Amino acid sequence: MAKFVAIIPAGGAGTRLWPLSRRSAPKFLHDLTGSGQTLLQATVDRLSPHADEILIVTGAAHADQVAEQVDIDEANIIAEPSPKNSMPAIGLAAAIAKERYGDAIIGSFAADHVIDDEAAFAHALEEARRLARVRTLVTIGITPTGADTGYGYIEPGEKITRDGLSVVEFTEKPERKLAERYVADGYLWNAGMFISTAEGLTRALEQHAPELAAGLEEIASIWDIQWRRDEAMGRLWPDFPSCVIDRVLAEPLAAAGEVAVVPADMGWSDIGGYPALAERLGGAELATTDPDKVMASASPGAVVFPGDRPVVVHGIEDAVVVDGGDVILVTTRTGSSQLPEVLGGVAEHGREDLL
Amino acid sequence: MAKFVAIIPAGGAGTRLWPLSRRSAPKFLHDLTGSGQTLLQATVDRLSPHADEILIVTGAAHADQVAEQVDIDEANIIAEPSPKNSMPAIGLAAAIAKERYGDAIIGSFAADHVIDDEAAFAHALEEARRLARVRTLVTIGITPTGADTGYGYIEPGEKITRDGLSVVEFTEKPERKLAERYVADGYLWNAGMFISTAEGLTRALEQHAPELAAGLEEIASIWDIQWRRDEAMGRLWPDFPSCVIDRVLAEPLAAAGEVAVVPADMGWSDIGGYPALAERLGGAELATTDPDKVMASASPGAVVFPGDRPVVVHGIEDAVVVDGGDVILVTTRTGSSQLPEVLGGVAEHGREDLL
């Protein structure tokens, strides 16, 4: 039977969770939910029972921290010299998997998502691996828990297997009204989980992004020869376009009827910001990892991450207070959605060091 | 000419300015406005050019800090074993002044107020000292800058001198509507500044609170003999009632036509809380003593006191953020008026140490 190779793209700045998440130590390196594990560690542990190999693709600046956090062969940590978004990262890992393991099935899973129901995930993954033999690309689609406007949606089509459906279309993040219609019509959230054969993915990439595919195959072919790898990466990587797998592969393949989806209801969250993180922590009155250090009153919906000092919050609904150690953030759940712009202001203030 | 003895009652917890103001180091010991001087130091400096002697009455726990902050004969620092509010404090200082300096004029001025226009204060004080020869009690009344509901008001009567008027009545803190009427009718704010002769004040106290007066006179008579003072204080002070000069003397004396007021427009503030402190610091967008450390956006009216770390505030109108070193407070201007209740909650949380 073909090997299953799990690919974990460990990137993304997580600015909506600043100052917990920083450029120097992004979201996936943190134990945001107080589970005792970082998001990356939980992702590796979730995939380990299923995967013959795990490949982690991360920024060169974070490779050491990744190696410290997870017990994985260092040859399986792939460092990008510069961020190019998901397609080059997954494409490189897929090409290396094909080179090393031949006719493998690969699946890529973000390093910074959480899943409560591991059995439901395992079930969906099993079905997706089966479907990867009959469709070029398979995704696991999340059963929506609300009309969220922060995710792209997947329009499912006819049934292929008991638990698998064809994908009609991947949609952009919708407006509220449209999101409500999507949910009513049985659309699923796109959680960016893609399963395929290594062969199928690289062939699809040859078709839809031939230059990128050629570059990645050249790098992969000499990946395990260090001096040639460094030369090839230095020569080719900088010119790769920054692009996402959704645009480059998932959308055109769906249009060609080559994508399947396995719906899954498994307590998934991308912890995209403080409201989502608060939901994981629970507590309608107060969401915090350290209730001993928080004294909140008349502040329903408050989200408080204290540092080494206690925090007193009074009279601010949906307050978000984060003691980041070297900086303190005070905003609201609504305000926290503007953190990317706020951080622009912090940079303009001459405090790039805090980002 | 009679000596002028300034009395500075340096007490009050200043809980509405917590955690800047603490039990262990109340408001008057702090440079809240970033002027380079603590409120106590500014008060002493303001009175020094006018006073032959300055007596500071403070809690025993704060006497050392007072002595460190101001250049004053230690014999002029009067330590209370327990807080008894303004009447016993001022009464004791008055009795000591009478004992030491005979027919002195005394004036009492809170240690934690600010006055911008020192010339206007000097002018009003001069007039008040003259009036103290013809009325038992003289107060300096503040020309209101708005219909504030946080102060008691003084109803002025007929003219006595060019700048002096008789007082009809001292009022309690009014409701909004009443405050507006008071301001329209020319009432003045009661800033708790009382000028009289030492003789006149002690005699009035004999009449209105004979037991307290007798106790204070006994203590004052042996004040400068340490071992007898300690015995008398230990025996008498604990049983003194906790009472304010407004109730015990000012109100009944006003009813008897024995009080005069000198109106003064001198940029006075009692810095009673964060809104008042913000007004001193200026800046409708942001009030702070340390703009380099504060990055505020979409938060008009924010009041931010950073500690050693920068503070980022976004999307909270009238936010109040105070890094108190060992605790962080996050509230709003409105919420800060409930700080006494909030601190009750902090105590219930088992964190009396933070008060």
Q: Are B227 and B103 in contact (CB under 8 A)?
A: no
Distance from the Cα of A311 to chain B's closest Cα (Å) equals: 5
Pick from A311, A334, A335: CB nearest B330? A311
**Chain A: residue nearest B333 by CA?**
A315
Contacts of A331 in chain B (CB under 8 A): 312-316
Distance from the Cα of B311 to chain A's closest Cα (Å) equals: 5
HEC assignment per residue over A225-259: CHHHHHHHHHHHHHHCCCCCHHHHHHHHHHHCCCE
- Is A342 part of the contact surface with chain B (CB cutoff 8 Å)? yes
Burial class (CB in 10 A: 0-12, 13-18, 19+), A308: exposed
Distance from the Cα of A326 to chain B's closest Cα (Å) equals: 6
**Chain A: residue nearest B299 by CA?**
A331
CA A55/CA B4 separation, integer angstroms: 85
**Chain B: residue nearest A321 by CA?**
B330
Q: Which of B288, B299, B303, B314 to mutate to test the interface with A (most CBs of A within 10 A)?
A: B314
Pick from B306, B335, B349: CB nearest A314? B335
Structure tokens at A99: 């080179």
Residue B126: CB partners within 8 Å, gap ≥ 6?
A: none
Q: What are phi and psi of A349, to 5 degrees?
A: -75, 0
Q: What confidence tens digit (pLDDT) does each residue in B148-158 have?
A: 998 999 999 99
CA A42/CA A40 separation, integer angstroms: 5
Q: Do A297 and B330 touch (CB under 8 A)?
A: no
Pick from A306, A310, A342: CB nearest B351? A310
Mean pLDDT computed over every residue of chain B? 95
Contacts of A321 in chain B (CB under 8 A): 328, 330
Distance from the Cα of B340 to chain A's closest Cα (Å) equals: 12
pLDDT band at B250 (very low <50, low <70, confident <90, very high): very high
Q: Name the nearest CA neighbour of B200 among B299, B128, B292, B266.
A: B128
The ipTM is 0.87
3-state secondary structure of B255: helix
Q: What confidence tens digit (pLDDT) does each residue in B301-353 have?
A: 999 999 999 999 999 999 999 999 999 999 999 999 999 999 999 999 999 99
**Chain B: residue nearest A354 by CA?**
B310
pLDDT at B14: 87
* pLDDT tens over chain A, length 355 residues: 789 999 999 988 789 999 999 999 999 999 998 889 999 999 999 999 999 999 999 999 999 999 999 999 999 999 999 999 999 999 999 999 999 999 899 999 999 999 999 999 999 999 999 999 999 999 999 999 999 998 999 999 999 999 999 999 999 999 999 999 999 999 999 999 999 999 999 999 999 999 999 999 999 999 999 889 999 999 999 999 999 999 999 999 999 999 999 999 999 999 999 999 999 888 778 999 899 999 999 999 999 999 999 999 999 999 999 999 999 999 999 999 999 999 999 999 999 999 9
pLDDT at B131: 97
Residue A263: CB partners within 8 Å, gap ≥ 6?
A: A124, A140, A141, A142, A143, A156, A163, A165, A188
pLDDT at B132: 97
Distance from the Cα of A331 to chain B's closest Cα (Å) equals: 5
User: Across residues B278-306, what is the average pLDDT?
Assistant: 92
User: Across residues B268-280, what is the average pLDDT?
Assistant: 93
Q: Do A297 and B342 touch (CB under 8 A)?
A: yes
- Residue environment code for A210-227, b if the CB has 16+ CB neighbours within 10 A, otherwise e: eebbebbbebbbbbeeee
User: Across residues B106-117, what is the average pLDDT?
Assistant: 96
Q: Which of A328, A333, A351, A352 to mutate to test the interface with B (most CBs of B within 10 A)?
A: A328
Compute CA distances B127 → B66, B166, B269, whole Å. Answer: 30, 13, 21
Q: Do B312 and A297 touch (CB under 8 A)?
A: no
Residue A242: CB partners within 8 Å, gap ≥ 6?
A: A83, A84, A85, A88
Place of tokens 């696991």: A140
* B-proximal residues of A, 14-73, CB under 8 Å: 19
Q: Name the nearest CA neighbour of B137 among B187, B200, B88.
A: B200
- Is A321 part of the contact surface with chain B (CB cutoff 8 Å)? yes
Pick from A309, A310, A342: CB nearest B312? A342
Q: What confidence tens digit (pLDDT) does each residue in B1-50 have?
A: 789 999 999 988 789 999 999 999 999 999 998 889 999 999 999 999 99
Q: Are A219 and A236 in contact (CB under 8 A)?
A: yes
Q: Are A135 and A259 in contact (CB under 8 A)?
A: yes
Q: Name the nearest CA neighbour of B140 among B195, B91, B185.
A: B195
Q: Is the peptide bond before B19 cis (omega within 30 degrees of 0)?
A: yes
Distance from the Cα of A116 to chain B's closest Cα (Å) equals: 32
Residue type, A305: F
**Higher per-residue pLDDT: B299 or A285:** B299
Q: What are phi and psi of B197, to 5 degrees?
A: -85, 150
Contacts of A316 in chain B (CB under 8 A): 316, 319, 330-332, 335
pLDDT at B63: 96
Q: Are B262 and B253 in contact (CB under 8 A)?
A: no
CA atoms within 13 Å, Cβ hemisphere of A84: 24
Q: What confidence tens digit (pLDDT) does each residue in B219-244 have?
A: 999 999 988 999 999 999 999 999 99
Pick from A311, A338, A354: CB nearest B310? A354
pLDDT at A309: 95
- Is A319 part of the contact surface with chain B (CB cutoff 8 Å)? yes
Distance from the Cα of A12 to chain B's closest Cα (Å) equals: 22
Strand order in the sheet with B294-297: A286-288, A302-305, A319-323, A328-332, B311-314, B294-297
